[in-house]
Amino acid sequence: MRTPARILVVDDVADNVEILRMRLESLGYEVVVAVDGEQALEKVASDLPDLVLLDIMMPKIDGLEVVRRMKADATLPFIPVILVTAKATPKDVVAGLDAGGDDYLAKPIDHGALVARVRAMLRIKALHDEVQALNTGLEAKIKAQVEEIERVSRLRRFLAPQLAQAIVSAGDEKVLENHRREIVAMFCDLRGFTGFAETAEPEDIMAVLKEYHGAIGPLIRKYEGTLDRFTGDGMLVFFNDPLPCEDAPQRAAQLALEMRDAVAALIPKWARRGYRLGFGVGMAQGYATLGRIGFEDRFDYTAIGAVINLAARLCGEAADGQVLVSGRLASMVEDFVQIEDLGERELKGMSRPAAIANLQALKASEAAAAQ
């Protein structure tokens, strides 16, 4: 509500209008006037008064019709109406209030009653406006929260949960811009899956993949790895991006070993169905370029670089149950993981031999801490 309050006085008798105008202005209010119902509706729409003093008995459109039209107009804010008339029988009062009037003043108008009713209606107006402002603010907040939830949901369809949350927390998508960072990259897949897929029924293949993904998916989430892609049985996961973590090598090693054990528990079940499957992991540490690739409405967040290729080659080299890592990564985790040094090997697509090691298990102290 504005200060001073704006009051619209509506009466077809000029003397009545002047008396009310003088009284209200002496109280510090701003006064606008109308001399009939049509002009009153025009003034309400153009001036948006805080209160209307409305005579009932007027030519053209009477006061009851004016208040009905006001209350029916959804574009108008709440504007209290005091009906002013010489007809003040109980029946007349009920008719006025039923039409939408908020209060009643009988003519001749008592100055004390006028002041009291005007102040009461303006208090109601102020409280109503305050509540409306709070509701508007709440609606805006709820709308923003709903939009954020919808945005996160859309992002999570294509991105890892922590990447989606990082974008929303940052307030923009700058995190998706191309950048360079050191990461730990992990490839894993099922040994023998290609031959299995060539002979098995599609329903059997999907059943195996469902069990496989159900076993290792929660572990990826547990260690907050960023899942880059699925390729059937193959997965690429990396650490230290988009959310940096100081213990990326340790997290990756723990994840790989728990994944190996989780899939190992499934292998006997698959064997009983006649499926000869195993599981292998390859990991490497190094710098990669990360960012968004794809096209409008369908994009992925991915890592590109030699470290990705090395992890993929190590995965291809791994036998069932092996977690092969680059020499650099092995040196980063040797304090808490039992390591089997495998020396240097020629890897397909690599120009020179690579030092590799097999992660066997967490050392006793680390295993106890992980429980």
C-beta neighbour count of 285 within 10 angstroms: 25
Measured between alpha carbons, how far is residue 260 from residues 227, 255, 296, 318, 328 in Å? 17, 8, 37, 12, 21
* pLDDT attached to residue 70: 93
Place of tokens 């002979």: 199
Measured between alpha carbons, how far is residue 346 from residues 84, 310, 321, 355, 366 in Å? 100, 11, 20, 9, 32
| 330 in Cβ contact with 346 (< 8 Å) | no
Say which residues have a Cβ less than 8 Å from residue 63's Cβ, sequence separation at least 6.
Answer: 10, 37, 54, 55, 56, 57, 83, 85, 96
Nearest to 197 by CA among 154, 233, 144: 233
- Domains, the chain, with CATH or none: 6-135 (3.40.50.2300), 175-370 (3.30.70.1230)
SS3 351: coil
| 223 in Cβ contact with 207 (< 8 Å) | no
Q: Tell me the H-state helices in 56-188.
A: 63-72, 90-99, 111-156, 161-170
How are beta strands 298-304 and 337-345 bridged, if at all?
A: unpaired
Measured between alpha carbons, how far is residue 315 from residues 64, 96, 190, 321, 326 in Å? 84, 84, 10, 11, 11
SS3 172: coil
Grouped pLDDT means (10 residues each) for the chain, 371 residues:
90 91 93 93 94 90 92 91 83 86 88 91 92 89 81 63 68 75 97 94 96 95 87 92 90 97 97 96 97 76 92 96 97 95 90 94 72 57
| 259 in Cβ contact with 213 (< 8 Å) | no
| 229 in Cβ contact with 304 (< 8 Å) | no
How are beta strands 354-362 and 337-345 bridged, if at all?
A: antiparallel
Nearest to 184 by CA among 288, 261, 313, 257: 288
Give the angle subtended at the CA of 243 by the CAs of 240 and 246, to the nearest 5°: 50
How are beta strands 81-85 and 51-55 bridged, if at all?
A: parallel
106 pairs with which residues across the strands?
85
Q: Work out the end-to-end distance of the chain between its first and last CA atoms, rounded to an integer number of angstroms.
A: 63
* pLDDT attached to residue 106: 86
Measured between alpha carbons, how far is residue 51 from residues 5, 83, 129 in Å? 8, 11, 13
Name the token pair of 269. Answer: 């079940």
